[in-house]
Amino acid sequence: MTYDLPVFVSGSAGFIGFHLTKRLLERGSPVIGYDDINCYYDQNLKKARISQLNSISKENDTFFELIEAKLENYSSLDKVFKGKNLKEENIPTPKLVVNLAAQAGVRYSIENPNAYIQSNLVGFGNILEMCRQHEIKHLVYASSSSVYGGNTKLPFSEKDSVDHPVSLYAASKKSNELMAHSYSHLYGLPATGLRFFTVYGPWGRPDMALFLFTKAILENRPINIFNNGEMIRDFTYIDDIVESLIRVIDKPAKKDDNFNTLDPNPSTSWCPHKVFNIGNSRPTALMDYISAIEECLEITAKKNFLPMQPGDVKATAADTSLLE
């Protein structure tokens, strides 16, 4: 895959989207960003990321433009893929698509399910239509470790069944995998789904544990620790996520000629569709994670131990052998 192919990145003002777009611009790939800059968390953080990307674009003399709109807005997406609302007319239409935009958060899906229906289902359906109509060479899309739902066999493998989600967020991500597979089968669209495991790092989302805990500790407030601290997470650093994304983008999914329909393997298919875990493969106990934050801050946290929250899972761990 050549670096000069224009890449459409939805969610480019988001945590992972920002870091991926930065990496693409630095390697010389023109990027068409797309983000609605919604108020799920501080919009100033998203705008600061975009400001960084504009600077990196100028430094590397690589095209970057952000379209501020929702995935659910079909007409806006259609204009982007036809090249009608780009400021620079000589930029070709997208050839690669990375869909990272979504309504994020497991717990928020319990409070506001409609946001997930619109962004993660209707919006992703629009992305698939754009890929079908404009002969996209490869669609890479964000799934989540949440799809493993009620599974307790660790580590989680792409070969496992994921038919028992415990949150609407997880169900929406599993739906994305099914939708992408159907388009891959019907239209030959190369598509790769990536199940991210608890991503952390600089410029991260303030609604995630690292920032929630740190802010509360610094403000001398107690931190909420669910399931009485008996939680395990496969924390994955953002640079590892981006490195995996870059490598996957450059290797479009291919059909599995040995696919056995009598004993189907959920990780692969007879059509060009693949699913990969992206994790650290070294799960960490939540209390060890909190201890590391305390050590860095040189402050002992006030702890509020609570029962498990609805939609949450006790442990995650990634089998990354397929990705490797």
The predicted structure's pLDDT at residue 89: 63
Of the chain, the percentage scoring pLDDT greater than 70 comes to 97
Q: Give the span between the Cα atoms of 267 and 319, in whole angstroms.
A: 12
End-to-end CA, the chain: 19
In angstroms, the CA 85 to CA 76 distance is: 8
For residue 276, the number of C-alpha atoms closer than 13 Å in the C-beta half-sphere is 23
Residue-wise pLDDT for 106-121, tens only, equals 777 778 888 889 889 9
Beta carbons of 139 and 99 less than 8 angstroms apart: yes
pLDDT, the chain, mean = 93
pLDDT tens digits for range 304-316: 999 998 888 999 9
At residue 142, the 3 state secondary structure works out as strand
Task: Please give the positions annotated as active site.
Answer: 169
Q: pLDDT tens for residues 141-181?
A: 999 999 999 899 999 999 999 999 999 999 999 999 999 99
pTM: 0.94
Q: Which residues contact 157 (CB under 8 A, 6 or more apart)?
A: 267, 277, 319
Q: How far apart are CA 251 and CA 315, in angstroms?
A: 31
